[in-house]
Amino acid sequence: MSAPRVEWPTRVRGRDGSPAPFDVTRIADAIARAAREVGHDDRDMPTAVAHAVADSLGPGTPSVEEIQDRVEACLGERGLDDVARAYIVYRRRRAELRAEKALLGVRDELKLSLAAVTVLRERYLLRDERGRPTESTGEMMDRAARCVAAAEDAYRPGAAREWAERFSSVLRSLAFLPNSPTLMNAGTEIGLLAGCFVLPIEDSISSIFTTLGHAAEIQRSGGGTGFSFGRLRPAGDPVQTTGGTASGPMSFLALYDTAARVLSMGGRRRGACMAVMPVTHPDIFDFVTAKAGSSSALTNFNLSVGVTDAFLRAVTRGGTHRLVNPRTGRVVAEVSATELFDEICRAAHACGDPGLVFLDTVNRANPVPDLGRIEATNPCGEVPLLPYESCNLGSINLARMISGGGVDWDRLAETTRVGVRFLDDVIDVSRYPIPELGEATRATRKIGLGVMGLAEMLATLGIPYDSEEGVRLAGRVMRSIQREAHAESVRLAAERGAFPAFSASRLAEPRRNAQVTSVAPTGTISLIAGTTAGIEPMFAIAFTRAIVGRHLLEVNPCFDRLARDRGFYCDELVTEIAQRGGVRGYERLPAEVRAAFPTAAEIAPEWHLRMQAAVQRHVDAAVSKTINLPASARVDDVRDIYLAAWKARVKGITIYRYGSREGQVLTYAAPEPPLAQADTDFSGGGPRRGCDF
């Protein structure tokens, strides 16, 4: 950059009156964006105009509005009317967005989307007694950073302040975000920062209702709960103390669902729960079909069947399968393994539930087998856990890990290191509503560092999600994160000590955390970060979103930037894409653009599974991923995917056939032509089973 001819401002006054450093490159970038949108190809023009604007401002402290006025004037003086118009339109859009946020009463220095600000206002930001937000979006990040960094002083006095600044910087940049309870509850009286827990249910009324009470404490704080109902005696089994018969696990599952629904009415979000039933349980047929016949059944629960290798081998060979009473350990029936599996597949085809948890695969990877066999997972299946353990999750925003047309491996490694340290600190500062939760969590110190924005990263790089190159890059990215995360956990163990149960583990080298990586669906934090969910593909390139009683047309940010930069953006184009949902069949767009922006419905099921398997190979825990199927998919398609998932050695599998459930969050809605529609919480990816983490 050449030296300024006159003195330029050193500071600029923001719209809220706060000062910030003057940066001429930001002016040039805004002009360049407008120039690209109208096809103006003079690469030197944006810098020249930006320097002229800086010269005209002199050494004072101009306001943002004054700078933008000067840009418009300078473009007009140079005869760049088309660029000026594009700049004015962009400025007007930003002004309208600020006005919408002002109506919500939210200060948003992070420049988030309206949908993100709406959700934060309703659930995350601290509020006064009248319900008005008392913190900005950035201050929410600062609050979480300060709370978590307080753990640092226990290891090095005075370190908390330094790490609070580092944590705040990475959160504010949206390069990494922790699970929702951390953002909601950090620095508050609730103080529960982990996302989800697995709770035990033993075969007694006392255990059933004690666990129900514990689940209520967790759910009212915004956490999710997973359970195995496999230890409960089957329906009709004798109860010696009363002389009656047992109602069975399905009756208590319904009770737990009702409690979760009641709690969600007074909580911050809908309750999220997972029920796992081992495939050997005598009531397995009732469990499998529990949601297939009614859209209102067990709405707060995802269901998964805990299957074994022996069962699936029997399925492939046409063999029989034994059902065992968990109270007595006796075989009570032998059934056709194929018929039971077909019933599972028919139910999943009908409503998306049940999924499968591959229990033998899970337990072969159990880092602490001496502590017990894993029987259940958190609500979305990405973290198989022992009783009372928690999953403390955070996700790296891969869309922010791009530089110079490729992956910024150095930034990815640094963000990974900060993320591991952040999540380890969360364990120390989190409050736990019952002692067993804290004890089990601290014994293994499991954390789950994962990713979001994979689909956006691939699209930005021009790589189709459903391609060999896409699958390879996803695996390489996760391998890099896994390697760096393990190394950081080893470093933390050297500083702070290994997790207390290390001596009972399979690990050869001391680590701070028994488990380090996991890929969550990310839910609302993807919405906050403005990127795609987890490792899911995009649901739609353009769609309408329901916000505050209105339906607003929304365009995928990555596609929006590309379309404007390459000069083919127009409102008519976006409307047409919204009617289609995707762009692959849209011949008016360049072939490489159509290839790089597939939607979930346009991706063949085998590519969904290949992506999940490629990522799972480099993840300690599990991967939350939905295999999206078209409405026309057959039961045999579900069967094929479930068996292929077992052979691919993923730890769990979920499918969702489009339109198979009423009230799905993402739809292509009538009347003709159809419009892709989403509710406020939608953050990317395709329709899937319920989970908001």
Q: Helix 81-104 vs helix 64-77: angle between axes, to the nearest 10 degrees?
A: 160
Which of helix, strand or coil describes residue 2?
coil
**Active-site hit among 196, 380, 558, 691:** 380
Residue 513 appears among annotated catalytic residues: no
Residue 378 designated active-site:
yes
Q: Please list the residues that pair with 198 across neighbouring strands.
A: 226
Q: Is 426:193 a contact under the CB 8 Å cutoff? A: yes
| Distance from C-alpha of 378 to C-alpha of 323, rounded to nearest angstrom | 25
- 197-216 b/e (C-beta count within 10 Å ≥ 16 → b): bbbbbeeeeeebebbbebbb
**Token duo for residue 320:** 């029989």
Structure tokens that stand for 244 in this block? 């009656």
The maximal CA–CA distance of the chain, rounded, in angstroms, is 96
CA–CA gap between residue 473 and residue 614 (Å, rounded) = 9
The candidate with the shortest Cα–Cα distance to 467, out of 364, 358, 361, 610, is 610
Torsion angle of the four alpha carbons 174, 178, 184, 186, in this order, in degrees rounded to the nearest 10 = -110
3-state secondary structure of 649: coil
- CA–CA distance, 4 with 54 (Å, rounded to integer): 9
The pair phi, psi for residue 239, each rounded to 5°, is -115, 105
| DSSP class per residue in 325-361 | -TTT--EEEEEEHHHHHHHHHHHHHHHS--EEEEHHH
To the query of whether residue 382 is one of the catalytic residues in this protein, the response is: yes
In one letter, which amino acid is 637? D
**For the chain, how far is it from start to end, CA to CA, in angstroms?**
45
User: Bridge partners of 331?
Assistant: 324
Active-site residue identified among 185, 302, 378, 397: 378
What's the DSSP call for residue 550?
Answer: E
Helix (H) or strand (E) holding 643: helix 635-647
CB 565 within 8 A of CB 555: no
CA–CA gap between residue 146 and residue 11 (Å, rounded): 27
Strands 626-629, 652-657: pairing is parallel
Q: Among residues 382, 389, 488, 554, which one is catalytic?
A: 382
Q: Is 77 in a helix, a strand, or coil?
A: helix
Nearest partner of 527 among 554, 549, 561, judged by Cα: 554
DSSP conformational letter for 133? B
Q: What is the DSSP letter of 436?
A: H
- Residue type for 31, please? I
Distances (CA, A) of 19 to 22, 63, 218, 313, 565: 9, 9, 42, 67, 30
Could you give the strand order of the β-sheet that contains 666-669, starting from the edge strand earlier in sequence? 550-555, 542-547, 675-678, 666-669
Pairwise CA distance, residues 389 & 522, whole Å = 20
**Among all residues, which ones are annotated catalytic?**
378, 380, 382
